[in-house]
Amino acid sequence: MNVKYITPAVTAFTSDFHVDMEANRQIYDHLIAGGMDGILILGSIGEFFAIPQEEKKRMIREALAYVDHRVTVYVGTGGTVFEECAELSRYALEQGADGVMVIPPYYFNLPDSAVLDFYDTLAGRIEGPLLLYNFPARTGYDLKPQVVLELARRRKNIVGIKDTVDVMGHTRALIQTVKKEFPDF
């Protein structure tokens, strides 16, 4: 079996609540030395929601330059403003990210049709790999296997998912539903 280990990275901050790039470089080095095949920056544990857009861009630029393709780097680019999410996704990919991971809109419980429209529109506005981010405990709804399959059918740049759920059955259902048609998903 071909297995790769990609871990979400915490974000270190200075005492005045700005991103501490020196401390973050130490975190990246620690994860790489520990055998990780990839790092996800600005995910939930990376506190993406607490960092202003321009500071995120600086972090993305400096992190990608520092890691310098030693491992795969995915960047969380989700947010509550669609245009900012699209802009940050394009920026991360232009800076050399191996892909972006985007949590769907949160706060409101959305129907599947709205989630489909969100990801379909976003994937159409970026050039590069997009990973879905299913985190029902934070969004209030689940990216169902059929929704994920439909998104993979609509957009070739939707290439994977981070499935943050508390039951393995959901991930198993995703694999059984999506991998038949998209074995590399």
| Strand ranges, E, within 83-163 | 99-102, 130-134, 158-163
CA-closest candidate to residue 147, choices 166, 167, 132: 132
Mean pLDDT of all residues in the chain?
A: 95
End-to-end CA distance of the chain: 15
Q: How confident is the model at residue 53 (pLDDT cuts 50, 70, 90)?
A: very high
Sheet holding 158-163, edge to edge: 6-8, 38-41, 72-76, 99-102, 130-134, 158-163
| Spatial contact of 8 and 46, defined as CB atoms under 8 Å apart | yes
Asked whether the predicted pLDDT for residue 37 surpasses 70, the reply is yes
CA dihedral 84→86→91→97, nearest 10 degrees, is: 130
- pTM (2 d.p.): 0.95
Question: What's the mean pLDDT in 62-76?
Answer: 98
In contact, 163 and 174? CB cutoff 8 Å: yes
More confident residue, 142 or 109: 142
Inform me whether the pLDDT recorded for 88 exceeds 70: yes
pLDDT above 70 (res 156):
yes
DSSP string, 37-84: SEEEESSTTTTGGGS-HHHHHHHHHHHHHHHTTSSEEEEE---SSHHH
Tell me which residues are annotated as active site.
44, 107, 133, 162
Instruction: Identify the DSSP state of 166.
Output: S
Q: Specify the pLDDT at position 1.
A: 55
Query: Percent of the chain, pLDDT > 90?
Result: 92
Asked whether residue 129 carries a pLDDT value surpassing 70, the answer given is yes
Q: Which residue has the higher pLDDT, 78 or 107?
A: 78
pLDDT of residue 107: 85
